[in-house]
């Protein structure tokens, strides 16, 4: 005789509330493998949201170590991590697995440009949480080549943006580049200042903006993993926290874009 059904039996499933959202393919999300490039403020929030949403396999790429100025906007970093100069990817992987012991996060310490093609193409979805244009374009080009959707996020102070790239159709990140982007493409913007060959003032960062942009990235990713690309951002979504508004700006596919020509 089967045991009686308890009134609270549904609470045993940690994803039960997510299953109540009819368009979410929870089983597909659980079975997916995602790559997150960047383990700073955005990367902390994106990994947290992915794990809590049910993603079980994540590869996390970052080359930097934790410093004390990271602590006001990075949920997984602690004072001890900064004192020891621990690598960001390793810390996030360790702490995020505590949120759900059934998930597995693989930290890759180094530049994303050093990651092999076989590692990149085994993922179903890539999230960009980067702080420089050159690395963004690198991830964009390789994701597009392997026909992997790419969700890119960026913040500066109380403003931020998200762009969803869905190959082979629609504009990619490079299509949205302008001359000012190209002039600074080779510059290295880093939270820590490591590997810098020029002086550049630190960029402003604010945790509520980071949270909003990261949440938007992950929500778009969940749409993709659930087969709902028809509801994804098709252009560039801009967020202005000070004005309490967001806008979608149209981006045309650049017929001369080298990424689309490959």
CATH of the domain at 48: 3.40.50.720
| 42 band by pLDDT with thresholds 50, 70 and 90 | very high
Q: What is the pLDDT of residue 178?
A: 61
| Residue at 103 is within a domain | yes
Q: Report the number of distinct structural domains present in the chain.
A: 1
| Residue at 255 is within a domain | no
pLDDT at 192 over 60: no
Mean pLDDT, range 14-38, rounded to an integer: 96
| Residue at 5 is within a domain | no
pLDDT at 56 over 60: yes
pLDDT in tens, 208-237: 999 999 999 999 999 999 999 999 998 999
Average pLDDT of the chain is 89
| Residue at 101 is within a domain | yes
- Terminal alpha carbon distance of the chain: 62
pLDDT at 67 over 90: yes
| Residue at 44 is within a domain | yes
| Residue at 259 is within a domain | no
pLDDT in tens, 94-121: 999 999 999 999 999 999 999 999 999 9
Q: Could you list the residue range(s) of the whole structural domain that residue 93 is in?
A: 20-249
% of the chain beyond a pLDDT of 70: 87
Mean pLDDT, range 176-188, rounded to an integer: 54
pTM: 0.89
| Residue at 240 is within a domain | yes
pLDDT at 166 over 90: yes
| Residue at 56 is within a domain | yes
């Amino acid at each position: 005789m089967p045991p009686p059904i308890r009134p609270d039996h549904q609470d045993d499933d940690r994803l039960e509330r997510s299953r109540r959202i009819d368009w979410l393919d929870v089983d597909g999300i659980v079975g997916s493998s995602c790559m997150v490039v960047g383990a700073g403020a955005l990367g902390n929030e994106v990994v947290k949201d992915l794990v809590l949403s049910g993603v079980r396999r994540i590869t996390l790429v970052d080359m930097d170590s934790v410093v004390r100025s990271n602590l006001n906007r990075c949920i997984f970093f602690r004072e001890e991590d900064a004192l020891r100069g621990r690598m960001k990817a390793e810390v996030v992987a360790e702490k995020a697995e505590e949120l759900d012991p059934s998930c597995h996060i693989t930290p890759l310490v180094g530049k994303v440009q050093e990651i092999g093609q076989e590692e990149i193409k085994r993922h179903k979805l890539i999230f960009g949480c980067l702080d420089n244009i050159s690395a963004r374009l690198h991830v964009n080009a390789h994701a597009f080549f392997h026909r992997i959707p790419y969700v890119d996020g960026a913040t500066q102070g109380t403003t931020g943006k998200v762009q969803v790239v869905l190959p082979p159709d629609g504009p990619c990140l490079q299509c949205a580049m302008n001359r000012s982007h190209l002039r600074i493409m080779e510059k290295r913007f880093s939270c820590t200042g490591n590997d810098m060959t020029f002086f550049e003032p630190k960029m402003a960062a604010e945790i509520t903006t980071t949270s909003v942009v990261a949440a938007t990235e992950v929500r778009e990713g969940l749409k993709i993993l659930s087969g709902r690309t028809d509801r994804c951002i098709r252009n560039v979504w801009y967020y202005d926290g000070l004005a309490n508004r967001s806008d979608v700006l149209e981006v045309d596919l650049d017929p001369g874009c080298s990424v689309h020509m490959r």
